Structure 1
Amino acid sequence: MIFNFVQTTMNHIGKLMLLTALLSSSVAFGQLTEDPEDRRDQGKDPLRTQTPEGRPLPFGQRLRFGGGINGFRFGNPFSLGVSPVVAYQATERLLVGVGGTYNYTRYKGYTTSGTTVPLETYNQFGGRGFAMFEMIPAILPNLYAHGEVETTTIQVTENQTGRKASYGLTAPLLGLTYSQPISRRFGINLTALYNLNYNQNQSLSQAIYGSPFVLRLSFF
């Protein structure tokens, strides 16, 4: 009987210790992943890579997702593009990421009867890797030096003949980005870049960029 009592007591103690360990682990995990937005209560900006206690944020909480709509034109030509982005907050001041681009453009011409017919269709695919470094946050917060390499391929279809051609171009771009934060992991970004590989005498360079200057409005 005494043995049974001791065994029952030990079982209860074991269960209590297991429950205590689980609760302790949950509390520790909650502290580790505590949202840095809590710093706003202290009158400070949220940390980008750490909790208020100084612990590093998990990988998933440093990721930022977004993109933008670009090349939007009605009329002739008609054009519409999208550019998804995935970015990672590597340090408090350094952001790195990758993005994709797709643009659809359609040119029309006029027949002798005055009606319009499709002449050419452009399908533009691209990918880019970029880095943004906040230069002088104490004086100009949220202003980043921005560098990236973008690779673009254009597939051109002549609608009347069905003839197709494909061209590619790689461009290094340098410039600035101003980011207006909406939350710790999302903001509105205005980017101005200069294409170091632009050639005004190259038709492909003009078809993709139009000028050596690239302006973007994105959200991530």
Structure 2
Amino acid sequence: MKRFFLLTLTFIGLASALVRAQTDEYYKKDTLRTDPNRRTTAPLPEPDSRPVHPEGTMPMSERLRLGGSFGLGFGTVTNVNLSPMAGLQITERLVGGVGVTYMWFRSRLFNYNSHYYGGRTFLMYSILPMINLQAEYEALNVEFVNPIESRYERTWLGSPMLGASYSQPLGGKYTRGVHMTLLYNLNYNNQRNPYDIRDNISPYSSPFVFRVTFL
């Protein structure tokens, strides 16, 4: 009986100490409220200091785009294609521009060496962040064979093209991204040798034209 009484007193003492400790913790002074230098949340991001321009009022230096495309082909026929371009951000989604094109062909097999040159104008409209629709008109001065007189002649070919491109941003000031573009030449089947309609004199091997353009 005496031992039970001592165990009861011990249990009551421990319980009282535990309750008192919890009470002291509950009423402890809130250091989060009294310490002004202690942060409970992450700091807010710094505001964007870059100037915001209403659409259509951006300065020319921010609307200008510079770049172009190029290609190299080696083998039986050597093909070099250079096309510098300049564009202008017309609206937030629409870019328009112009470019010049130079092509050099050389065939060792047929002892043939020729230069094509011309220019193009284009419009590129963004329908999604990385997907664009594109319309283009290209005019090229090309060389072809006159089989009647056994000599080469030159003529201009006009190529209206429609297609789309997939873009990846580059972050440059004037070269904003790289664009993988696939176009369809609407006039391809009409670009024939006037002396032999079986001979297509377009510099492209099919009506589909693929380009990688930096702009």
TM-score by length of 2: 0.65
Q: Which residue of 1 aligns with 2:184?
A: 194
Cα 1:201/1:163, change in 2 over 3 Å: closer
RMSD over aligned Cα atoms = 2.9
Moved segments of 4+, more than 4 Å: 40-43, 203-206
SS at match of 1:208: coil
Shift of 1:142: 2.3
Q: Which residue of 1 aligns with 2:140?
A: 152
Q: Which residue of 2 aligns with 1:82?
A: 82
Q: 1:216 aligned to 208, 211, 215, which one? A: 211
Name the aligned partner's letter for residue 73 of structure 2. Answer: R
Equivalences for residues 110-189 of structure 1 within 5 A: 119-135=111-127, 137=128, 141-155=129-143, 163-183=151-171, 185=174, 186-189=176-179
Contact 2:143 2:155 in 1 (8 A): yes
Larger radius of gyration: 2
CA deviations over 1:108-164 (Å, ceiling 9, x no partner): 22xxxxxxxx621121102111001112x3xxx121110011101114699xxx954
Count the aligned residue pairs.
159
| Structure 1 gap segments, 5+ residues each | 1-39, 44-49, 110-117
TM-score by length of 1: 0.64
Cα 1:163/1:191, change in 2 over 3 Å: same
Name the aligned partner's letter for residue 132 of structure 1. Answer: M
Percent pairwise identity: 34
Could you tell me how far apart the structure 1 residues matched to 2:165 and 2:46 are? 28
Equivalences for residues 20-99 of structure 1 within 5 A: 51-52=51-52, 54=54, 56-70=57-71, 72-99=72-99
Cα 1:42/1:212, change in 2 over 3 Å: farther
SS at match of 1:209: coil
